[in-house]
Amino acid sequence: MGTNRKLLIDICSTSDNNGLCCDAQARILSEVKHSGLHSVSRNRQAKSEGVVMAEKFDAVDVIRTKRDKGVLSPDEIDWVIDAYTRGVVGDEQMAALNMAIFLNGMNRGEISRWTQAMIASGETMSFDSLSKKTADKHSTGGVGDKITLPLAPLVAAFGVAVPQLSGRGLGHTGGTLDKLEAIPGWQADVSNERMMEILEDPGCIICAAGAGLAPADKKIYALRDITSTVEAIPLIASSIMSKKIAEGTSSLVLDVKVGSGAFMKNQEQARELAQTMVDLGKDAGTKTTALLTDMSTPLGRKVGNALEVEESVEVLAGGGPADVVELTVALAREMLEAAGVHDADIEAALKDGRAMDKWKQMIKAQGGDPDAALPVASHTHDVIADSDGYLTELDALAVGVSSWRLGAGRARKEDPVQATAGIELHATKGEKVTKGQKLFTLHTETPDRFERSLEVLNSGFQITDEPLSEERKIILDRIS
All domains in the chain, ordered by first residue: 59-105 (1.20.970.10), 135-208+250-366 (3.40.1030.10), 379-464 (3.90.1170.30)
Least confident of 15-19, 237-241, 270-274: 15-19
The arithmetic mean of pLDDT across residues 374-382, rounded, is 98
Distance CA 307, CA 297 (A): 17
Answer whether residue 447 shows pLDDT above 60. Answer: yes
DSSP string, 427-477: S-TT-EE-TT-EEEEEEES-GGGHHHHHHHHHTSEEEESSPPSS---SEEE
Judged by DSSP in three states, 392 sits in: strand
Distance CA 402, CA 172 (A): 8
Judged by DSSP in three states, 303 sits in: strand
Q: Given this model, what pLDDT does residue 169 score?
A: 74
DSSP string, 222-287: HHHHTTT-TT-HHHHHHHHHHHHHHTT-SEEEEEEEESTTSSB-SHHHHHHHHHHHHHHHHHTT-E
434 burial via Cβ count (<10 Å: 0-12, 13-18, 19+): exposed
Distance CA 89, CA 76 (A): 12
Distances (CA, A) of 356 to 3, 144, 323: 73, 20, 19
| 8 Å CB contact between 219 and 260 | no
| 8 Å CB contact between 208 and 239 | no
The residue type of 108 is R
pLDDT in tens, 333-362: 999 999 999 999 999 999 999 999 999 999
Within 13 Å and on the Cβ side, how many CA atoms surround 443?
A: 22
Give me the active site residues, please: 138, 217, 224, 239, 243
pLDDT class of 209 with cuts at 50, 70, 90? confident
| 8 Å CB contact between 74 and 113 | yes
Fill in the DSSP letter of residue 393: E
Average pLDDT of the chain?
A: 89
Distance CA 422, CA 261 (A): 15
Provide the sign of the torsion angle of the four alpha carbons 104, 110, 116, 120, taken in this order: negative
28 burial via Cβ count (<10 Å: 0-12, 13-18, 19+): middle
Distances (CA, A) of 403 to 74, 263, 294, 444, 452: 44, 17, 19, 9, 10
The full 3-state SS of 335-369, as one line of letters, equals HHHHCCCCCCCHHHHHHCCHHHHHHHHHHHHCCCC
Q: Given this model, what pLDDT does residue 49 score?
A: 53
pTM: 0.86
pLDDT in tens, 2-44: 433 333 333 333 333 333 344 433 443 343 333 333 333 334 4
pLDDT in tens, 67-78: 999 999 999 999
Between 417 and 411, where is the model more confident?
A: 417
| 8 Å CB contact between 309 and 149 | yes
242-271 as b/e: b if 16+ CB within 10 A: bbbbbbbbbbbbbbbbbbbbbbbbebebbb
Between 49 and 314, where is the model more confident?
A: 314
Ramachandran quadrant class, 36 (left: phi over 0; alpha: psi -120 to 50; beta: rest): left
Distance CA 117, CA 37 (A): 32
